[in-house]
Amino acid sequence: MSGLARKLLIAFAVLGLAASTAATYVHFNLVKNPDYSSFCDINAAVTCKAAYLSRYGSIAGVPVAVGGILFFTWVLMLMWGARGKSRIRDSAPAYIFAGSTLALAGVLYLAYASFFILKEVCPLCVATYVAVIGVFILSGGASSVPMSQLPRRVMGDIRLLIATPVALLIALLFIAGASWGMSVFPREEVRPLKPILDKYAQRPQDVKVVLKQFPLNSDCNPTVPTKMHVASCDAAAAVVMARSKGTFEKVQDWLFLHQQELSPTTVRGAAADIGKEADFDGAYAKAIHEVQSDVALGSSLGVSSTPTFFINGKRIPGGGLPPQYFEAALGLELKRAR
């Protein structure tokens, strides 16, 4: 590896580490306070908040950004270990290239989700994408070891690591720090019943999932004395419109993600951008009529809060069952039906 390539690779790794660390800090504050606003929340289209609080921002409750910290730290550790006449000097670029290939696949998927599903740009995410692409290109160009030889080299390099006290200590500290960081990060609250509903929605022969609207706003729901949620009528109408456009899931996810900032204006913008509804006002009368029909049905069934679930006619107000019991109730009804 040339001196210039080495410096550039380290620079991209440092950029990625800085961006991932900043992203983890922002995500941490968002979990603790959903109203938190960071320096990268510039406007509705350029924001970090949407990406981090979406289903694409975490894996098993751990932010994707933490994975970025681990990846770029690993790259820098390999570059440090490969300096001078180190015995892993030739192997390091190949290891980094193999790792960055997986990282590139991940960031391409996240970029697609950000730009085309959420339709928002996350500045810190973009910095991470650039860093991964830079590491991928530079390590690929510098690698002189065929990928087929890496498995054999790994065992020899592991023996070298074990025989080198300083290197072994650094590796153990890295593993311990990674484990600690993932364990202490506060888990964010998510839609605990959605995975269950999605699972059973894939079994239409057994379970039919039906969604009805019950906005808590007196403008379209006479059973509610006040406008508890000022944009809920517009949001309910946007969901109804989205069904005919094939954008129902995208609109529903966007509305859930942006609950804290919903207004008639933002809902209309989402209906156009996410829901592909070109004439919200023109379609509103028909949509709100369907919403009011849902309200009347809900009222006749005793609905007074959202979410309220019915399983074979049995009312569960406010989503009042923990996920494991909710799924158990569904399983019990399936057995009874058989």
Read off the pLDDT of residues 95-154 as tens digits, 9 standing for 90 and up.
899 999 999 999 999 999 888 877 889 999 999 999 999 999 999 888 777 777 777 777
Q: pTM score, two decimals?
A: 0.56
Rounded to 5°, the CA angle 117-123-125 comes to 65
Average pLDDT over residues 16-21: 95
CA distance 74 to 77: 5
Say yes or no to pLDDT of 190 above 60.
no
pLDDT in tens, 120-130: 899 999 999 99
Q: Are residues 11 and 147 in the same domain?
A: yes
Evaluate whether 272 touches 263 at the Cβ level (below 8 Å). no
Average pLDDT over residues 56-65: 80
Q: Are residues 171 and 291 in the same domain?
A: no
Average pLDDT over residues 46-62: 78
Domain end among 124, 151, 184: 184
| The pLDDT value given to residue 12 | 97
Q: Are residues 261 and 176 in the same domain?
A: no
Say yes or no to pLDDT of 256 above 70.
yes
Say yes or no to pLDDT of 181 above 70.
no
Rounded to 5°, the CA angle 46-47-49 comes to 160
Q: Are residues 178 and 203 in the same domain?
A: no
Q: Are residues 124 and 264 in the same domain?
A: no
Q: Of 37-41, 87-91, 189-193, 227-231, which gets the smallest average pLDDT? A: 189-193
| Cα 60 from chain centre | 10
**Backbone dihedral region for residue 215 (phi beyond 0: left; psi -120 to 50: alpha; all else: beta):** beta
More confident residue, 160 or 320: 160
Average pLDDT over residues 284-288: 95
pLDDT band at 28 (very low <50, low <70, confident <90, very high): confident
For residue 162, the domain's CATH number is 1.20.1440.130
Q: Are residues 108 and 129 in the same domain?
A: yes
| The pLDDT value given to residue 310 | 86
> Domain total for the chain?
2
Altogether, the residues listed in the chain come to a count of 338
pLDDT band at 191 (very low <50, low <70, confident <90, very high): low
Q: Of 20-24, 81-85, 186-190, 250-254, which gets the smallest average pLDDT? A: 186-190
Q: Is residue 251 part of a domain?
A: yes
Q: Is residue 189 part of a domain?
A: no
Q: Are residues 13 and 114 in the same domain?
A: yes
**% of the chain with per-residue pLDDT over 70:** 83
Say yes or no to pLDDT of 318 above 60.
no
Domain that holds residue 273: 194-337
Q: Are residues 32 and 146 in the same domain?
A: yes
